[in-house]
Amino acid sequence: MSIEVRIPTILRTYTGGEKAVTAEGASLAALIDDLEANHPGIKERLIEDKNGADTLRRFVNVYINDEDVRFMGSLEAELSDGDQVVVLPAVAGGSN
Amino acid sequence: MAGAPTLACVLTIDQATYDAIVAHAKRDHPDECCGIVAGPEGSDRPERLVEMVNAAGSPTFYEFDSAELLDLYKQMWANDEEPVVVYHSHTATEAYPSRTDIGLASEPNAHYVLVSTRHWAEARDETGDGNNDAPIEFRSYSIVDGEVTEEEISVVPARPAP
């Protein structure tokens, strides 16, 4: 199983500057664990602990084949060989 | 970050793009406006203005819609572009990055432009004139690892040749 993961500029410190890496996992959670095994520190930037459960960070967007994973079960979203995953930090802010 | 001195950068932007960002901020007031100016990767040249919808639709917060964000980045990857400028407006406060802006800044190579419409809106509300001459604050910053550095802005008549 091989899944291409597109890495945003701000997280490329974890991938040795690579814009895309391959990883594997049958779910997004498993994929992120696999990423962490090869690129230590990256998981913490994607996931936070909320009431004892791993949750995708509010201002991190992850897409599987162009679909926002928040509409596909978030960390439980299923993955198949050849899927394309994109990670993009939200572009957000404001005066408050 | 030890040892590396913080060098002040300059944002060079053409007048038409500058004016379009100001116009966008006025149009969306009292909500915050947002968008980017893309340019060739590594060039530091803001060339292609992309006005985005503020999915938060708020006077105190902005966020790109997640599907539009992906479309935007896919376009830029296809064109070998990157976001050279990321801009948004503050509508009641100064054009300086808030703690939220700093915490969420995720493009270390971008110029973060902040526009404030507060003085323009006050003048408009007093005189009823939306074309008043009250100053629009237009400032640029780099935001890297929570560190904010204000940059000079050079507005040029037309985009300098590559």
* Best CA proximity match to B67, nearest among A63, A6, A56: A63
**Residue numbers in A near B86 (CB within 8 A):** 91
CATH number at residue A84: 3.10.20.30
pLDDT of residue B160 exceeding 70: no
CB atoms under 10 Å from CB of B4, counted, come to 6
Nearest to A61 among B60, B61, B69 (CB): B69
Distance, in Å, from the CA atom of B75 to the CA atom of A79, rounded to the nearest integer, reads 24
Question: Is A94 among the domain residues?
Answer: no
| Substitution target from B69, B102, B107, B147 for chain A, most A beta carbons within 10 A | B69
Question: Is A10 among the domain residues?
Answer: yes
User: Do A68 and B67 lie within an 8 Å CB cutoff?
Assistant: yes
pLDDT at B7: 52
Tell me the CA distances in angstroms from A25 to A53, A57, A84, one per residue in order: 19, 19, 12
Q: Does domain B10-156 have CATH number 3.40.50.2300?
A: no
pLDDT band of residue B8 (cuts 50, 70, 90) is low
pLDDT at B1: 43
Find the distance separating the first CA and the last CA of chain B, reported in whole Å: 31
Question: Is A56 among the domain residues?
Answer: yes
User: Is residue B30 reached through a cis peptide bond, with omega within 30 degrees of 0 on the bond before it?
Assistant: yes
pLDDT band of residue B3 (cuts 50, 70, 90) is very low
Are A65 and A79 spatial neighbours (Cβ–Cβ below 8 Å)?
no
Query: Tell me: the pLDDT tens digits for B94-118?
Result: 999 999 999 999 999 999 999 999 9
Q: Which residues of B touch A (CB under 8 A)?
A: 32, 34, 36, 52, 56, 58-64, 66-67, 69-70, 73, 82, 86, 88, 90-93, 97-98, 100-101, 104-109
Distance, in Å, from the CA atom of B116 to the CA atom of B95, rounded to the nearest integer, reads 5
Report phi then psi at A13, rounded to 5. Answer: -60, -25
* Best CA proximity match to B140, nearest among B103, B115, B157: B115
Distance, in Å, from the CA atom of A69 to the CA atom of B96, rounded to the nearest integer, reads 33
pLDDT of residue B6 exceeding 60: no
- % of chain B with per-residue pLDDT over 90: 88
Tell me what the mean pLDDT of segment B66-91 comes to: 97
Q: What is the ipTM of this complex?
A: 0.93
CB atoms under 10 Å from CB of B131, counted, come to 8
User: Do A91 and B52 lie within an 8 Å CB cutoff?
Assistant: yes
| Substitution target from A9, A46, A68, A95 for chain B, most B beta carbons within 10 A | A95
Tell me what the mean pLDDT of segment B137-157 comes to: 96
Tell me what the mean pLDDT of segment B127-145 comes to: 93
Question: Is A13 among the domain residues?
Answer: yes
pLDDT of residue B78 exceeding 90: yes
Domain of residue A24, residue span:
3-89
Edge to edge, the sheet with strand B147-156 lists B10-14, B147-156, B137-144, B111-116, B81-90, B34-40, B48-52
Report phi then psi at B159, rounded to 5. Answer: -60, 130
pLDDT band of residue B19 (cuts 50, 70, 90) is very high
Are B158 and B14 spatial neighbours (Cβ–Cβ below 8 Å)?
yes
Residue whose entry in the numeric block shows the structure tokens 């005189």: B127
Q: Mean pLDDT for chain B?
A: 93
User: Do A94 and B32 lie within an 8 Å CB cutoff?
Assistant: yes
Tell me what the mean pLDDT of segment B10-29 comes to: 97
Question: Is A95 among the domain residues?
Answer: no
User: Do A93 and B105 lie within an 8 Å CB cutoff?
Assistant: yes
Tell me what the mean pLDDT of segment B106-133 comes to: 94
Residues of chain A below pLDDT 70 = none
pLDDT at B158: 83
Beta strands, E only, B3-98: 10-14, 34-40, 48-52, 62-63, 81-90
Are A16 and A10 spatial neighbours (Cβ–Cβ below 8 Å)?
no
**Structural domain tally of chain A?**
1
pLDDT at B9: 86
